[in-house]
Structure 1
Amino acid sequence: MIKKIVGLSVLLTIGGILLLSFKTKESIDLSSYSTEGLDLYYIAPNFNEIEDDNTFISPELGKSYIGFKEAVAFKESRGDYGVVNQFGYLGKYQFGKGTLDLIGIRNVKRNEFLSNPALQEKAFYANLSRNKWVLRRDIKWYVGRRINGVEVTESGILAAAHLSGPGAVKKYLRSGGVEGFADAFGTTIRYYMKRFGGYDTSFVVPDKKAKAI
Protein backbone atom coordinates (compact mmCIF):
# COMPACT_ATOMS: atom_id res chain seq x y z
CA MET A 1 0.00 0.00 0.00
CA ILE A 2 2.81 2.37 0.93
CA LYS A 3 4.55 1.60 -2.41
CA LYS A 4 1.36 2.46 -4.27
CA ILE A 5 1.03 5.75 -2.40
CA VAL A 6 4.66 6.64 -3.08
CA GLY A 7 4.29 5.72 -6.76
CA LEU A 8 1.14 7.80 -7.06
CA SER A 9 2.87 10.77 -5.43
CA VAL A 10 5.75 10.53 -7.90
CA LEU A 11 3.36 10.42 -10.84
CA LEU A 12 1.42 13.40 -9.53
CA THR A 13 4.66 15.36 -9.03
CA ILE A 14 5.88 14.62 -12.58
CA GLY A 15 2.47 15.48 -13.99
CA GLY A 16 2.43 18.78 -12.12
CA ILE A 17 5.89 19.73 -13.43
CA LEU A 18 4.89 18.95 -17.00
CA LEU A 19 1.63 20.89 -16.65
CA LEU A 20 3.43 23.94 -15.26
CA SER A 21 6.03 23.80 -18.05
CA PHE A 22 3.34 23.78 -20.75
CA LYS A 23 1.48 26.64 -19.09
CA THR A 24 4.71 28.65 -18.82
CA LYS A 25 5.42 28.25 -22.54
CA GLU A 26 1.89 29.22 -23.46
CA SER A 27 1.85 32.23 -21.15
CA ILE A 28 4.98 33.96 -22.55
CA ASP A 29 3.92 37.34 -23.95
CA LEU A 30 6.20 38.68 -26.71
CA SER A 31 3.86 41.49 -27.78
CA SER A 32 5.93 44.12 -25.96
CA TYR A 33 9.35 42.70 -26.92
CA SER A 34 11.67 45.33 -28.41
CA THR A 35 15.32 45.62 -29.46
CA GLU A 36 15.30 49.39 -29.03
CA GLY A 37 18.52 50.63 -27.47
CA LEU A 38 20.48 47.46 -28.23
CA ASP A 39 23.60 47.47 -30.42
CA LEU A 40 22.76 44.89 -33.06
CA TYR A 41 25.06 44.11 -35.98
CA TYR A 42 23.49 41.48 -38.18
CA ILE A 43 25.48 41.73 -41.40
CA ALA A 44 25.16 39.18 -44.17
CA PRO A 45 27.96 39.87 -46.66
CA ASN A 46 27.48 39.00 -50.30
CA PHE A 47 30.01 36.80 -52.07
CA ASN A 48 32.03 39.83 -53.18
CA GLU A 49 32.50 40.84 -49.54
CA ILE A 50 34.06 37.59 -48.37
CA GLU A 51 37.80 38.00 -47.90
CA ASP A 52 39.88 35.73 -50.09
CA ASP A 53 43.51 35.01 -50.81
CA ASN A 54 43.55 37.48 -53.71
CA THR A 55 43.74 40.55 -51.47
CA PHE A 56 46.59 42.79 -52.61
CA ILE A 57 49.30 42.94 -49.95
CA SER A 58 52.55 44.80 -50.42
CA PRO A 59 54.97 44.57 -47.48
CA GLU A 60 57.22 47.11 -49.18
CA LEU A 61 54.50 49.76 -49.60
CA GLY A 62 52.74 49.00 -46.34
CA LYS A 63 50.06 51.48 -45.26
CA SER A 64 51.52 54.42 -47.19
CA TYR A 65 49.63 56.49 -49.75
CA ILE A 66 51.29 54.50 -52.54
CA GLY A 67 50.22 51.30 -50.79
CA PHE A 68 46.68 52.65 -50.62
CA LYS A 69 46.34 53.58 -54.27
CA GLU A 70 47.94 50.35 -55.46
CA ALA A 71 45.63 48.31 -53.22
CA VAL A 72 42.59 50.13 -54.65
CA ALA A 73 43.93 49.64 -58.18
CA PHE A 74 44.43 45.93 -57.60
CA LYS A 75 40.85 45.55 -56.43
CA GLU A 76 39.49 47.63 -59.32
CA SER A 77 41.45 46.21 -62.25
CA ARG A 78 44.37 44.12 -61.00
CA GLY A 79 46.41 47.25 -61.77
CA ASP A 80 45.76 47.18 -65.52
CA TYR A 81 45.85 50.64 -67.16
CA GLY A 82 44.29 49.35 -70.39
CA VAL A 83 41.23 47.47 -69.10
CA VAL A 84 37.59 48.39 -69.79
CA ASN A 85 34.92 46.46 -67.90
CA GLN A 86 31.49 45.41 -69.18
CA PHE A 87 29.91 48.60 -67.81
CA GLY A 88 32.35 50.88 -69.61
CA TYR A 89 34.54 51.84 -66.64
CA LEU A 90 38.05 52.69 -67.70
CA GLY A 91 41.61 51.95 -66.74
CA LYS A 92 43.57 51.06 -63.66
CA TYR A 93 41.14 52.76 -61.28
CA GLN A 94 37.95 52.07 -63.28
CA PHE A 95 36.70 55.60 -63.88
CA GLY A 96 33.26 56.39 -65.23
CA LYS A 97 32.66 59.20 -67.70
CA GLY A 98 30.81 61.32 -65.13
CA THR A 99 33.72 61.27 -62.71
CA LEU A 100 36.21 62.08 -65.46
CA ASP A 101 34.09 65.07 -66.48
CA LEU A 102 34.13 66.37 -62.89
CA ILE A 103 37.93 66.35 -62.74
CA GLY A 104 38.43 68.00 -66.14
CA ILE A 105 38.91 65.04 -68.49
CA ARG A 106 36.16 65.83 -70.98
CA ASN A 107 37.51 65.67 -74.48
CA VAL A 108 40.07 62.90 -74.16
CA LYS A 109 39.23 59.85 -76.27
CA ARG A 110 38.92 56.52 -74.53
CA ASN A 111 42.00 54.99 -76.17
CA GLU A 112 44.05 58.08 -75.34
CA PHE A 113 43.07 57.80 -71.68
CA LEU A 114 43.77 54.07 -71.54
CA SER A 115 47.20 54.48 -73.09
CA ASN A 116 48.20 57.33 -70.75
CA PRO A 117 49.23 55.98 -67.30
CA ALA A 118 50.39 59.41 -66.13
CA LEU A 119 46.95 60.90 -66.80
CA GLN A 120 45.25 58.04 -64.98
CA GLU A 121 47.44 58.61 -61.91
CA LYS A 122 46.61 62.33 -62.00
CA ALA A 123 42.93 61.46 -62.31
CA PHE A 124 43.07 59.21 -59.26
CA TYR A 125 44.73 61.89 -57.12
CA ALA A 126 42.39 64.65 -58.36
CA ASN A 127 39.35 62.54 -57.59
CA LEU A 128 40.66 61.75 -54.09
CA SER A 129 41.42 65.42 -53.51
CA ARG A 130 37.95 66.53 -54.55
CA ASN A 131 36.27 63.78 -52.52
CA LYS A 132 38.35 64.66 -49.46
CA TRP A 133 37.10 68.23 -49.70
CA VAL A 134 33.45 67.15 -50.13
CA LEU A 135 33.74 64.77 -47.17
CA ARG A 136 35.95 66.95 -44.96
CA ARG A 137 33.31 67.36 -42.23
CA ASP A 138 32.42 63.66 -42.28
CA ILE A 139 36.09 62.74 -41.95
CA LYS A 140 36.31 65.02 -38.91
CA TRP A 141 33.09 63.70 -37.33
CA TYR A 142 33.24 59.97 -38.01
CA VAL A 143 36.88 58.84 -38.10
CA GLY A 144 37.47 56.60 -35.10
CA ARG A 145 33.84 55.53 -34.73
CA ARG A 146 32.53 52.08 -35.59
CA ILE A 147 29.68 51.68 -38.07
CA ASN A 148 28.28 48.23 -38.90
CA GLY A 149 31.16 46.70 -36.98
CA VAL A 150 33.88 48.48 -39.01
CA GLU A 151 36.15 51.22 -37.69
CA VAL A 152 35.85 54.35 -39.82
CA THR A 153 39.16 55.71 -41.13
CA GLU A 154 40.00 58.47 -43.59
CA SER A 155 41.40 56.04 -46.15
CA GLY A 156 38.30 53.86 -45.82
CA ILE A 157 36.06 56.87 -46.44
CA LEU A 158 38.07 57.93 -49.51
CA ALA A 159 38.11 54.40 -50.92
CA ALA A 160 34.34 54.12 -50.42
CA ALA A 161 33.89 57.48 -52.18
CA HIS A 162 35.89 56.15 -55.12
CA LEU A 163 33.48 53.22 -55.26
CA SER A 164 30.16 54.99 -54.79
CA GLY A 165 30.73 58.74 -54.96
CA PRO A 166 31.00 61.08 -51.95
CA GLY A 167 27.24 61.66 -51.74
CA ALA A 168 26.50 58.00 -51.05
CA VAL A 169 29.25 57.89 -48.42
CA LYS A 170 27.73 60.90 -46.65
CA LYS A 171 24.36 59.16 -46.52
CA TYR A 172 25.95 55.97 -45.23
CA LEU A 173 27.87 57.71 -42.45
CA ARG A 174 25.11 60.09 -41.39
CA SER A 175 22.52 57.31 -41.25
CA GLY A 176 24.77 55.16 -39.09
CA GLY A 177 25.19 52.67 -41.92
CA VAL A 178 21.48 52.25 -42.58
CA GLU A 179 21.52 53.89 -46.03
CA GLY A 180 23.91 51.68 -47.94
CA PHE A 181 25.15 51.33 -51.50
CA ALA A 182 26.20 48.45 -53.70
CA ASP A 183 27.70 48.64 -57.17
CA ALA A 184 26.75 46.42 -60.10
CA PHE A 185 28.92 43.62 -58.66
CA GLY A 186 27.32 43.86 -55.21
CA THR A 187 30.32 45.54 -53.57
CA THR A 188 29.32 47.80 -50.68
CA ILE A 189 30.58 50.90 -48.90
CA ARG A 190 31.07 48.84 -45.74
CA TYR A 191 33.31 46.42 -47.59
CA TYR A 192 35.54 49.18 -49.02
CA MET A 193 35.76 50.88 -45.63
CA LYS A 194 36.91 47.62 -44.09
CA ARG A 195 39.26 46.54 -46.86
CA PHE A 196 41.01 49.90 -47.30
CA GLY A 197 40.95 51.17 -43.74
CA GLY A 198 44.04 52.37 -41.90
CA TYR A 199 46.17 53.68 -44.78
CA ASP A 200 47.96 57.03 -44.53
CA THR A 201 46.14 59.41 -46.89
CA SER A 202 47.36 62.62 -45.25
CA PHE A 203 49.33 63.19 -48.47
CA VAL A 204 46.04 64.05 -50.22
CA VAL A 205 45.19 67.75 -50.01
CA PRO A 206 41.44 68.51 -50.07
CA ASP A 207 40.57 70.68 -53.07
CA LYS A 208 37.06 71.59 -54.17
CA LYS A 209 38.24 72.35 -57.71
CA ALA A 210 40.77 69.56 -58.17
CA LYS A 211 41.43 68.76 -61.83
CA ALA A 212 43.57 66.19 -63.58
CA ILE A 213 44.03 68.50 -66.57
Structure 2
Amino acid sequence: MPLPTALFWERRDVAGAEHALLEARTGLYAHGTALAAAPVPYACHYELQTDPGWLTTRLDVRTEGAGWSRSVRLELAAGRWRVTATESGDLDAALVAAGHARAGLPGSEDPDLLYGAFDADLGGSPLTNSLPIRRLDLLKAETGVAHRLSVAWVLVPSLEVVQADQIYTPLGGNRVRFASETFSADLVCDDDGFLVDYPGLAQRVTPGS
Protein backbone atom coordinates (compact mmCIF):
# COMPACT_ATOMS: atom_id res chain seq x y z
CA MET A 1 0.00 0.00 0.00
CA PRO A 2 1.41 3.44 -0.89
CA LEU A 3 2.41 5.49 2.15
CA PRO A 4 0.81 8.93 2.53
CA THR A 5 3.69 11.12 3.72
CA ALA A 6 7.06 11.88 2.12
CA LEU A 7 9.90 13.74 3.84
CA PHE A 8 13.17 14.83 2.24
CA TRP A 9 16.28 16.16 3.95
CA GLU A 10 19.47 17.58 2.47
CA ARG A 11 22.62 16.70 4.40
CA ARG A 12 24.69 19.63 5.69
CA ASP A 13 27.76 17.77 6.96
CA VAL A 14 28.55 15.87 3.76
CA ALA A 15 27.13 15.69 0.25
CA GLY A 16 23.99 13.61 0.63
CA ALA A 17 20.25 13.43 1.22
CA GLU A 18 17.53 11.29 2.78
CA HIS A 19 14.06 10.46 1.48
CA ALA A 20 11.50 8.78 3.75
CA LEU A 21 7.96 7.55 3.14
CA LEU A 22 5.86 7.04 6.24
CA GLU A 23 2.54 6.45 7.92
CA ALA A 24 2.16 7.90 11.44
CA ARG A 25 -1.48 7.55 12.52
CA THR A 26 -0.96 4.64 14.95
CA GLY A 27 2.72 4.70 15.75
CA LEU A 28 5.21 4.94 12.91
CA TYR A 29 5.91 2.79 9.90
CA ALA A 30 8.56 4.18 7.55
CA HIS A 31 10.97 3.16 4.88
CA GLY A 32 13.58 5.32 3.26
CA THR A 33 16.92 5.75 1.56
CA ALA A 34 19.85 7.90 2.62
CA LEU A 35 22.78 8.71 0.35
CA ALA A 36 26.11 10.16 1.46
CA ALA A 37 29.51 10.75 -0.09
CA ALA A 38 31.51 10.19 3.10
CA PRO A 39 33.31 8.49 4.73
CA VAL A 40 32.93 6.48 1.50
CA PRO A 41 30.09 6.86 -1.01
CA TYR A 42 27.18 4.68 0.15
CA ALA A 43 23.44 4.13 0.00
CA CYS A 44 21.52 3.23 3.15
CA HIS A 45 18.06 1.64 2.88
CA TYR A 46 15.93 1.19 5.99
CA GLU A 47 12.53 0.04 7.21
CA LEU A 48 11.27 1.08 10.64
CA GLN A 49 8.29 0.03 12.76
CA THR A 50 7.08 1.23 16.17
CA ASP A 51 4.17 0.26 18.36
CA PRO A 52 1.26 2.73 18.87
CA GLY A 53 3.23 4.43 21.66
CA TRP A 54 6.21 5.04 19.34
CA LEU A 55 8.42 2.49 21.04
CA THR A 56 10.68 0.98 18.37
CA THR A 57 9.87 -2.66 17.64
CA ARG A 58 11.90 -3.31 14.47
CA LEU A 59 14.57 -1.65 12.36
CA ASP A 60 16.00 -3.22 9.20
CA VAL A 61 18.96 -1.47 7.57
CA ARG A 62 21.07 -2.26 4.51
CA THR A 63 24.10 -0.29 3.36
CA GLU A 64 26.01 -0.75 0.13
CA GLY A 65 28.92 0.77 -1.73
CA ALA A 66 31.57 -0.17 -4.27
CA GLY A 67 32.66 -3.74 -3.48
CA TRP A 68 30.70 -4.23 -0.25
CA SER A 69 27.28 -4.48 1.39
CA ARG A 70 26.01 -4.98 4.93
CA SER A 71 22.68 -5.50 6.66
CA VAL A 72 21.37 -5.51 10.21
CA ARG A 73 18.00 -6.20 11.82
CA LEU A 74 17.04 -5.03 15.30
CA GLU A 75 13.91 -6.46 16.94
CA LEU A 76 12.67 -5.49 20.41
CA ALA A 77 10.49 -7.90 22.37
CA ALA A 78 9.87 -8.05 26.15
CA GLY A 79 12.47 -5.30 26.64
CA ARG A 80 15.32 -7.19 24.97
CA TRP A 81 16.88 -6.62 21.57
CA ARG A 82 17.61 -9.33 19.05
CA VAL A 83 20.28 -8.25 16.56
CA THR A 84 21.15 -10.16 13.38
CA ALA A 85 23.63 -9.00 10.75
CA THR A 86 25.25 -10.00 7.46
CA GLU A 87 28.11 -8.64 5.37
CA SER A 88 29.71 -9.28 2.01
CA GLY A 89 32.67 -7.71 0.26
CA ASP A 90 35.19 -5.50 2.05
CA LEU A 91 34.06 -2.18 3.55
CA ASP A 92 37.37 -1.89 5.41
CA ALA A 93 39.31 -1.85 2.15
CA ALA A 94 37.15 1.00 0.87
CA LEU A 95 37.57 2.96 4.11
CA VAL A 96 41.34 2.50 4.29
CA ALA A 97 41.69 3.51 0.63
CA ALA A 98 39.80 6.72 1.48
CA GLY A 99 42.09 7.42 4.43
CA HIS A 100 39.73 6.32 7.22
CA ALA A 101 39.99 3.79 10.04
CA ARG A 102 38.57 0.32 9.66
CA ALA A 103 34.92 -0.19 10.57
CA GLY A 104 33.47 -2.27 13.36
CA LEU A 105 31.60 -5.44 12.48
CA PRO A 106 27.89 -5.10 11.70
CA GLY A 107 25.50 -5.95 14.52
CA SER A 108 26.28 -6.26 18.23
CA GLU A 109 28.57 -8.66 20.07
CA ASP A 110 26.36 -8.39 23.18
CA PRO A 111 22.75 -7.25 22.61
CA ASP A 112 22.16 -7.39 26.38
CA LEU A 113 24.10 -4.11 26.58
CA LEU A 114 21.11 -2.53 24.79
CA TYR A 115 18.71 -3.50 27.60
CA GLY A 116 16.70 -0.44 28.66
CA ALA A 117 16.89 1.20 25.22
CA PHE A 118 13.46 1.89 23.74
CA ASP A 119 14.55 3.86 20.67
CA ALA A 120 16.78 3.02 17.73
CA ASP A 121 18.94 5.82 16.35
CA LEU A 122 20.16 5.40 12.78
CA GLY A 123 23.37 7.35 12.30
CA GLY A 124 22.99 10.38 10.05
CA SER A 125 19.19 10.04 9.84
CA PRO A 126 17.07 12.94 11.14
CA LEU A 127 13.99 10.71 10.98
CA THR A 128 14.98 8.59 13.97
CA ASN A 129 15.37 11.63 16.24
CA SER A 130 11.58 11.87 16.05
CA LEU A 131 11.17 8.56 17.89
CA PRO A 132 11.90 9.82 21.45
CA ILE A 133 10.34 13.21 20.66
CA ARG A 134 7.03 11.54 19.85
CA ARG A 135 7.30 8.69 22.39
CA LEU A 136 7.83 11.17 25.25
CA ASP A 137 5.54 13.86 23.73
CA LEU A 138 8.37 16.36 24.13
CA LEU A 139 6.77 19.15 22.10
CA LYS A 140 4.15 19.43 24.87
CA ALA A 141 6.42 18.57 27.80
CA GLU A 142 7.68 21.00 30.43
CA THR A 143 10.45 23.14 28.98
CA GLY A 144 13.94 22.90 30.39
CA VAL A 145 13.46 19.41 31.85
CA ALA A 146 16.10 16.99 30.52
CA HIS A 147 15.11 13.46 29.52
CA ARG A 148 18.04 11.03 29.65
CA LEU A 149 17.74 8.06 27.32
CA SER A 150 19.59 4.91 26.39
CA VAL A 151 19.32 4.15 22.66
CA ALA A 152 20.41 1.46 20.25
CA TRP A 153 22.68 3.47 17.96
CA VAL A 154 23.30 2.03 14.50
CA LEU A 155 26.53 3.42 13.06
CA VAL A 156 26.48 4.07 9.31
CA PRO A 157 27.84 2.73 7.03
CA SER A 158 29.35 -0.02 9.22
CA LEU A 159 25.99 -0.98 10.83
CA GLU A 160 27.74 -1.68 14.12
CA VAL A 161 25.11 -1.39 16.89
CA VAL A 162 26.17 0.18 20.18
CA GLN A 163 24.47 1.50 23.29
CA ALA A 164 24.51 5.28 23.54
CA ASP A 165 23.35 7.76 26.17
CA GLN A 166 21.42 10.76 24.86
CA ILE A 167 19.62 13.73 26.41
CA TYR A 168 16.53 15.44 24.96
CA THR A 169 15.41 18.72 26.52
CA PRO A 170 12.23 20.54 25.37
CA LEU A 171 12.88 24.23 24.70
CA GLY A 172 9.39 25.30 23.62
CA GLY A 173 8.34 26.57 20.21
CA ASN A 174 8.80 23.14 18.57
CA ARG A 175 12.47 23.10 19.55
CA VAL A 176 14.24 20.29 21.39
CA ARG A 177 17.88 20.27 22.48
CA PHE A 178 19.64 17.01 21.64
CA ALA A 179 22.88 16.16 23.41
CA SER A 180 25.26 13.22 23.57
CA GLU A 181 28.64 12.90 25.28
CA THR A 182 30.43 15.11 22.76
CA PHE A 183 27.69 16.91 20.81
CA SER A 184 24.72 19.23 21.24
CA ALA A 185 22.24 20.72 18.77
CA ASP A 186 18.89 22.52 19.02
CA LEU A 187 16.51 20.60 16.77
CA VAL A 188 13.59 22.35 15.08
CA CYS A 189 10.50 20.19 14.50
CA ASP A 190 7.19 20.53 12.71
CA ASP A 191 3.94 20.15 14.66
CA ASP A 192 4.10 16.37 14.22
CA GLY A 193 7.56 16.06 15.77
CA PHE A 194 9.47 15.45 12.53
CA LEU A 195 12.68 17.40 12.12
CA VAL A 196 12.77 20.50 9.95
CA ASP A 197 16.29 21.55 10.87
CA TYR A 198 19.12 19.60 12.51
CA PRO A 199 21.96 22.16 12.68
CA GLY A 200 25.16 20.77 11.24
CA LEU A 201 23.52 17.59 9.94
CA ALA A 202 20.41 18.07 7.79
CA GLN A 203 17.68 20.45 6.73
CA ARG A 204 14.26 19.55 5.39
CA VAL A 205 13.50 20.42 1.78
CA THR A 206 9.88 21.11 0.83
CA PRO A 207 8.34 21.39 -2.66
CA GLY A 208 9.07 24.79 -4.14
CA SER A 209 11.78 25.65 -1.60
TM class, shorter-length: under 0.3
- Structure with higher strand content: 2
- Which has the higher relative contact order, 1 or 2, with Cα contacts under 8 A spaced 6 or more apart? 1
- Report the TM-score, using the length of structure 1 for normalisation: 0.27
User: Which structure has the larger Rg?
Assistant: 1
- Report the TM-score, using the length of structure 2 for normalisation: 0.27
- Structure with higher helix content: 1
